[in-house]
Structure 1
């Protein structure tokens, strides 16, 4: 395709290519194919990191070979797409317009899919998703509980388009918002739309995006910069990675819009080198956008020029903080600095700079195309739009979910997530990653927005959501997150560098069964001091897991200290194994014990010599009649 020289030309191309996407959208008017009926089909195969690691590339190869063999090449198109969000069920294959949704597909399933579904019009039942609560198979994606309550804006094109083909992005309204901005709007108009939309930064802080742009525009400079924070350091978080893998052009377009709004001509995407697939697709998107004149000099025939380069991060969590990120881009050590001045005044190379994360940018083209009022109508009074969460942990439906602000935790965990695995009891959910807090069952009906989560000791963060059940020890969970933040601290300020180490030492002492009541007092006081005195957001929020678990699960801390007992049976030094009267005297436990601490004769009750027990659990896991209990 040749360079696109005007907005009108872009609109015409978008209309032409949108036709090839129409059949991929779910529609209840489209009937499933009946036997021997052949029609035009589109087969999309998830090409996200998780699915690629499970041989989705080989699935595509095998599907194409079987389609060619069946003589369906003119009727069926097979293509890679981005993450569908239902990550645990991958690899995923979707067939449109049937909207049939196959999960856990393997390369060996390709022949059956082609023969049964594409040739004979029969659904392959064994590859359908089964609802965990009702144990029923579901044929269509839009009928699955995982998707019913979602509203996909940032993820709107993930699972729909081929991320390596810019024409499909254009067919899905890609770059139309940029064309509209350059043709019909002034920079002030763009900023007003963003302010009126109510969009807040999705990187964790939640600062209003339009206000940040307005601040940067207000400062005069010979050069300004737009930065995309694609560092995404929270454990278990993969929202930004999935957007870049599934719809990279939406981010490039949004960065150009931001550049036009504040008067910047250069953009930087700061992405961790651990995301090779996202990097590769970004590079493809950049190359194609420049070839079509959608980035570079005189975009769409206007006098606006904007170019983007990629900078790699080494995976430092602290570089998610914008001043640390900027220092890293400049080639310096990734450490935060005091504010003010804020980056909007003095950022990259001491020039006015706007930093937003991937998810924030992914919302912007949709807002420009559909209007501020449309976006402002979604969500709550103080938190507009939708939020993407990486739902993980002890949950049946693990994956990416995008829901309107104001959706409750209960709806996400039980309606979308399908409830707790193996019928276990819900205990807590951690939101906001290492900087967030653990939320107990009594707060499951709280509406998810920035203020509500903060009010109960947690935070939105970038969108990690880890579900825990009754088998999780909350003291151990707090220790886990402290281990992470201690490792990731840049060490610049004393409260974070030293204080968090002391917190970890106290938690380790408690989980080892050596804690005292004074340790509990010290833990609470030190956590609050670190929160109040640290330099940047990492240090200020690092104590949140400790403070929230102490607030809501105080009885577990007391049990560890006063009773020398871990109620969940997780902390090894506090676990005690005992053999009950259910013992049949099979001697299997004694034979499996590596330190010979179990005594007893055949067909008689066995006992554990506690002083010799090393708490390995071999007796517990190996007993054929569940006679061994963990206390």
Structure 2
């Protein structure tokens, strides 16, 4: 399998000074922009629709369709907002992309803004990623100096300004409407939808919100064409994808592979399980996606395959755990994160996460009861689909799936077992990065 992979998104990552504009330009950089500016904006929207590109931020919504929702001729300014607030536990693909190849995102932003007739773009980067913020600011300055940004870009008559905005470290701002509120200077909390950002987004104007990896894919689609892009991946989930492998693998890191690749194939690329200890459970797309077990090694990791197997592709943050890890302990650590990061706007999430954590902490301490398992499932049922945004839904996923596949481990904690010790091999799950 290794010999068959040709990198697309990561092709420049290993180059010396890959982040510099001159290096980017030597490898087809900003050629897609010239090609795009010679086309009609509607042609670009149709090209992205034909390519089948789907959002890489977790939901997998068709990108071209999202662009097409923007009303034209409405007399309002249009905005492009890039969601680079990478806060999902285990997710670590966007920051490496921006660090190694920031100009691919900048070029994608210019092409996208031209397609949706936007003259302002904001890239919302997680505040803790200071080096990434500086790298993106430098890339934007280089683009201005070369005439790729500003007024009358490359003599096309198209104007665009890009601003790098540093968030304040709130996980909730990864939700697109909470991100927009934060950009406007308010507390980051999700908005009631409808209206959707496509008609009433940033400053109540039509706005497209896309993930970093999604927009960084656009220049390659413009250069290669929709059929070339569809030659990778699967029919309904085409294109390449960056998979973030962390946890108990020999070589954790970022692995680019076509959508539909299985964990068995990814483990082959990553050198297998660390120290040869067998796989116990794993997440296909971060901590907010239902757990998988060793029985799911051959599930195609695309949007359809993960869903059919009972989980979600999410951000392809593949966290891998061997047999030394206690499932209830891992679930408890994730729940600590969600309880801490809940914005508190809605009752199901605010109260539900609090009580779920209380129960899990009691169980892991060996003081649980069998009734606690049903109580947790009942609380999860009252959160799922009833919270204001997807944070509440994500908080229930590790609990319900953990009980589904490893109920006996939870039952064992209800039989006056000694407290489960924290596995030293893994470290802090919440802070785990590849």
Structure 1 position 307, deviation (Å): 1.1
For the 8 Å contact 2:288–2:394, the answer to whether it is kept is yes
Give the C-alpha shift of residue 275 in structure 1.
1.4
> Aligned equivalents of 2:297 and 2:186: distance in 1?
43
After superposition, residues 424-463 of structure 1 pair within 5 angstroms as 424-463=277-316
Distance 1:388 1:219, change over 3 A: farther
Q: Which residue of 2 aligns with 1:522?
A: 375
Post-superposition shift, 1:455? Answer: 3.2
Pairing 1:332–2:186 present: yes
Q: 1:278 aligns with which of 132, 142, 166?
A: 132
Secondary structure in 2 matching 1:392: strand
The corresponding residue for 1:134 is none
- Show structure 1 runs of 5+ residues with no match: 1-144, 576-631
* Residue in structure 2 matched with residue 494 of structure 1 by the alignment: 347
> Cα gap change, 1:354/1:509 in structure 2, threshold over 3 Å: closer, same or farther?
same
Q: Deviations over 1:256-281 (max 9, x none)?
A: 11111111000001012211221222
- Does the 8 Å contact 2:76/2:206 carry over to 1? no
Aligned-partner Cα distance in 2 for 1:339–1:456: 29
CA distance, structure 2, for counterparts of residue 215 and residue 222 of structure 1? 14
In the alignment, which residue of structure 2 is the partner of 1:177? 32
Query: Which residue does the alignment assign to 2:430?
Result: none
Question: How far did residue 162 of structure 1 move?
Answer: 2.1
| 1:550 paired residue number | 403
CA distance in 2, matches of 1:354, 1:554: 42
Distance 2:328 2:337 in 1: 15
Q: Find the aligned partners of 1:221 and 1:541 in 2 and give their Cα distance.
A: 38
Q: Give how far 1:231 is off.
A: 0.8
Cα distance in 1 for partners of 2:71, 2:153 equals: 20
For 2:384 and 2:310, how far apart are their aligned partners in 1? 12
Pair 1:368 & 2:217 matched: no
Moved more, 402-411 or 277-286: 277-286
Q: Is the 8 A contact 1:435 1:541 kept in 2?
A: yes
2:420 to 571, 579, 585: 571
SS of the aligned residue for 2:399 comes to: helix
Structure 1 stretches of 4+ with a deviation exceeding 4 A read 147-151
1:99-123: per-residue Cα shift (whole Å, max 9, x none)?
xxxxxxxxxxxxxxxxxxxxxxxxx
- Note if contact 2:133-2:166 (Cα within 8 Å) is conserved in structure 1: no
Aligned position for 2:428:
none
TM-aligned CA deviation for residue 323 of structure 1: 0.2
- Per the alignment, residue 207 of structure 1 pairs with 61
The counterpart of 1:483, out of the listed 331, 336, 361, is 336
How many Å separate the matches in 2 of 1:274 and 1:417? 28
- 2:52 paired residue number: 198
In the alignment, which of 393, 399, 402 is matched to residue 540 of structure 1? Answer: 393
The 1:324–1:369 alpha-carbon spacing in structure 2 relative to 1, beyond 3 Å, is: same
Gaps of 5+ in 2: 424-434
Structure 2 equivalent of residue 124 of structure 1 = none
- Give 3-state SS (helix, strand or coil) of 2:385's partner: helix
CA spacing shift, 1:365–1:513, aligned 2, 3 Å = same
Aligned positions, number:
424
Query: Would the aligned equivalents of 2:33 and 2:111 in 1 still touch at CA under 8 Å?
Result: yes
Residues 48-447 of structure 1: pairs in structure 2 closer than 5 A: 148=3, 150-160=5-15, 162-183=17-38, 185-218=39-72, 220-413=74-267, 415-447=268-300
Q: Is the 8 A contact 2:299 2:305 kept in 1?
A: yes
Change in CA separation of 1:207 and 1:294 when aligned onto 2, cut-off 3 Å: same
C-alpha separation in 1, matches of 2:330 and 2:250: 20
Instruction: Confirm or deny: 8 A CA contact 1:149 1:403 kept in the other structure.
Output: no
Give the whole-Å Cα distance in 1 for the aligned partners of 2:210 and 2:165. Answer: 15
CA contact (8 A) 2:19 2:99 kept: no
1:457, distance to aligned residue in structure 2 (A): 3.6
Cα deviation 1:8-31 (Å, max 9, x = unaligned): xxxxxxxxxxxxxxxxxxxxxxxx
- Kindly indicate whether the alpha-carbon contact (under 8 Å) linking 2:260 and 2:305 is maintained by their aligned counterparts in 1: no
C-alpha displacement of 1:235: 2.3
Q: Which moves more between the two structures, 155-164 or 327-336?
A: 155-164
TM-score (norm 1): 0.65
Aligned counterparts of 2:213 and 2:73: Cα–Cα separation in 1: 26
Helix, strand or coil: the match of 2:69?
A: helix
Q: Is the 8 A contact 2:284 2:301 kept in 1?
A: no
- Other-structure match for 1:48: none
- Residues 221 and 352 in structure 1, CA contact (< 8 A), matched pair in contact too: no
- CA displacement, residues 198-228 of structure 1 (integer Å, 9 cap, x when unaligned): 1111111111100010001447243111111
Is the Cα contact below 8 Å between 1:512 and 1:572 reproduced in 2?
no
CA offset at residue 479 of structure 1?
0.7
Distance 2:151 2:16 in 1: 27
2:106 counterpart SS class: helix
Q: Work out which of the residue numbers 338, 353, 356 in structure 2 matches 1:503.
A: 356
TM-score, with length taken from structure 2 = 0.94
- Distance in 1 of aligned mates of 2:34 and 2:179: 30
State whether residues 180 and 201 of structure 2, in contact with CA within 8 Å, keep that contact through their aligned partners in structure 1.
yes
Distance of aligned partners of 1:529 and 1:196 in 2 relative to their CA distance in 1, 3 Å threshold = same
